[in-house]
Structure 1
Amino acid sequence: MRVVEAFRAAYGASPQTVWHAPGRVNLIGEHTDYNDGFVLPFAVPWGVTAALTPRADGVVRLLSLQASGEPVTMATREESAGWTRYVVGVLAMLGDRVAGADIAIDGDVPQGAGLSSSAALEVAVASALNDVHGLGLTPMELALLSQRAENDFVGMPCGIMDQAASALSREGHALFLDCRSLGSRSIPLDLAAHGLSLLIIDTQVHHEHASGEYAKRRAECESAARKLGVPALRDVTDLAGALGLLQGDERKRTEHVVTESHRVEALVGLLRAGAVKEIGALLNASHLSLRNLFEVSSPELDVAVEAAVRGGARGARMTGGGFGGSAIALVPVERLEGVQESVSAAYAERRFRAPRFLPAVPSQGAHRVS
């Protein structure tokens, strides 16, 4: 394995453990996680593999095959920067339970596609540390720890969805997650049995949450909840009444969050009833809400969704935090080529960078690599 060979070359010995954690794509339920709502992601075939051996001296040595290829050594956790902050943040959240570590990282999550490579990195490292130190943390506890690393150490106010999907997902299933209770259920998602495929359309536009727009949306949702006197927007039961008390952006954000959580529950109901071909309308409605009410889409995402549906997709939507990244399209297998041609032609007509197409296959969550 490439990451093990790199570990040996850098540190002169084999790693004590190797863990893989996947990225994720979200079928539906966008920007609902930090509003205590419902989400329905699943793990993708690409992820991050972490080879690790603990150290007792507090020193952290990190090697990424996607970075310089040379180890970065940190005597203190304050020395971390860039991608290393996600790893060091996990160590920081574990506190006195761990000291230092020698770590090698290899990843194949398409960068900038909104498939949550950061969560995959955090969960892979957290899982490896949990394993080698015998901490006994559950997958959900590892997800929560990884989320805290990103919130408190990196400074990105993400919800729990990405880390939970990476840690808990099962092959062939989507993860129905209640982001308040943290209760979850694996929902079978066998698209091929219904002659369907879920196509990821990578717009090749790098999404940049650090611009502040993601944090701004979260702040707007929290402000709206305070004005409505509820713990979170998930608790709004009278949507019409709530909208009458709000104005401007907070009104629009609230309408999206409440209706999006309802769409998640409706889609789960369709999947459990075997009506997989009928979920496309919910995907379309989700995209319109994200575009018009939550305002996190982009021209490239809108064109991808419109061209995919025009080319024969049963439904499509942007996925992830927005402002770039990827869209997903539910496509009959026999129309895959036509959908890709439709999107590619629409991009070429507008002189957008050519999109990349990836198959979204529900994959296994974090696991030890033998």
Structure 2
Amino acid sequence: MSRSQDPHKTFLPFGNPFRMMKAKGSNLSPKLLDLLNTFEETLSARLNKLKPANKKDVLSFSWMKAAIESLCGIHADIKVLITALELPVCDWDDKWIDVYLDNSVKLLDICIAFTSEISRLKQGRLFLQCALHSLTGASSNKFVSARSSLDGWRKHVGSKNPKLENCFSVMESLARTLDLPKIKNSSKGKVLMRAMYGVKAVTLFVCSAFAAALSGSAKSLSDVQVSETYLWGETFADLQTFVNTEIRNSTNGSFAVLKEIEDVVTGVEKLYPVVRDCVGVGPVGDEELMKCTLDLEKSTEKFADGLNLLGKEVDGFFQVVLTGRDALLCNLRVGGDVFDQMRTNHRLDGQAVR
């Protein structure tokens, strides 16, 4: 796991992409304005629930799980809005479709990177289980085996995951597309693009925080500037500042970011010298050995449970994105020529969907 202390790096700030909308709801019918308000109020409520009472809870599997659950809900909300707008895909501007398909591929790639890192951490857990199993055995070489397993964990947790490292550039690319196409003659299109901006901004924020927590580096954090003309803008800015500040403070000289990983690392560092001193001479200080072993066993169990739950949420989000993409492509098939054109630009056997 990378622990490099990279210089503070942020994505380019993005303002309100709908500058032509001088006031929210300008030129919108009461029905469209109500749909937009409902979406933005729901988004604000979801963001508000993500701010924990204790800042240290940000860097935990439980917060990350809640953040991904919120993303799934937000992506479901945009589907509800699209249905309510009664704006058939055949009426979508080609630019909207192009942006949506391109962004969905990026999100799938990011999900794959997260899944890869979660799988890698699960592999590291095997070293811990082997060490604990060795210490409960009666073999004369149990301390040698335990020390070897602990060495394996230390090496594994300190290594880098290329897929996770590569997803940082994917998120930068995603950030550059936040400024969506301008809408001139379609009120429904304006509502749709405005809502999609909210989905993209929150998705980018959560994914960047997720990557920073998993990598142990704040270099992937985004600082998206959102206009207060959105009903969710102030809540978003408050949450983003809260979360990013805590992550940056915690990565300053820290070996691990996530609390569950930090607890395991601490347990290993306490147990390792005790096991090392026992090699060749037998147990010295049985009470200390038992205490350190029990502490590591407890932290390893919490670590494993958190990983499993988080992995399921990431898989769920992957399916949400993939389902939405497939639904759009199915609707495009009805358009015949339109689908053929989009299929040329966005191959289904691309880097994420293969």
Q: TM-score scaled by structure 1? A: 0.25
Structure with max Cα Rg: 2
| Relative contact order, higher structure (CA 8 A, sep 6+) | 2
Q: Hey, which of these two has a bigger chunk of strand by percent?
A: 1
Q: TM-score scaled by structure 2? A: 0.25
